[in-house]
Structure 1
């Protein structure tokens, strides 16, 4: 798998306009453009999602990543790339679509 590395400065959000910050790995030894890289164990909490179903708020609250096997490891967990599969979830863990990932990711680092 190839793609741009996700780091603490990468813009991540849900498909309904909510925003999620990339939480860096426990180790701050891996930096991308001076910002901590993010592994597949990272917790992403979504805020500001305005999604409704039949007028009832059903916001995205988190993002769950599904990294492919065989990638570069960071703290024993796969390094997240913009191309890593993920889903935005409600508080009840109902999938609501893929996250929107982009902007501010380091153009000069690619894996693959």
Structure 2
């Protein structure tokens, strides 16, 4: 997994803009939503993420990102026992064959809550 492995950062919520490295949109396909920031559910390690609109190709053959996985620090902030995802959490996008295709790009948004 790529990304920063620190314990601090801005909490990722449903208001956060997330993309694959090829411009596709990363979104929570399922979310626990137990805690909200400005009315938006905060994402945790229990959430499942999908990718749509990825334009990645290999030798002219479409190989779009289809999912994303986050690798949160286990000693961070927890919601119902699950680590909260931060804009600094390591994350990777994957194609349909689960081939790594690059890091998730996160813009946490101004309303985010800083976690340490």
- What is the TM-score when the length of structure 1 is the normalising length? 0.90
Q: Is the 8 A contact 1:16 1:49 kept in 2?
A: yes
Partner of 1:101: 106
Deviation at 1:105, TM superposition (A): 5.1
The unaligned stretches of length 5 or more in structure 2 are 1-6
- Size of the aligned set, in residue pairs, is 110
> 1:39 aligned to 2:44?
yes
Q: Is the contact between residue 93 and residue 102 of structure 2 (CA under 8 Å) also seen in structure 1?
A: yes
What is aligned with 2:78?
73
Aligned partner (choices 63, 81, 85) of residue 58 of structure 1 = 63
- Residues 60 and 66 (structure 1), Cα distance of their counterparts in 2 relative to 1, 3 Å cut: same
Please state which structure has a larger fraction of its residues in strand: 2
Report runs of 4+ in structure 1 exceeding 4 Å deviation. none
Residues 31, 48 of structure 2: 8 Å contact kept: no
CA-based RMSD of the aligned residues comes to 1.5
TM-score (norm 2): 0.87
Alignment partners' CA distance in 1, 2:82 and 2:110:
19
Quote the offset at 1:111 in angstroms.
0.7
Q: Where in structure 1 are there 5+ consecutive unaligned residues?
A: none
The answer (yes or no) to whether the contact 1:40–1:78 under 8 Å persists in 2 is yes
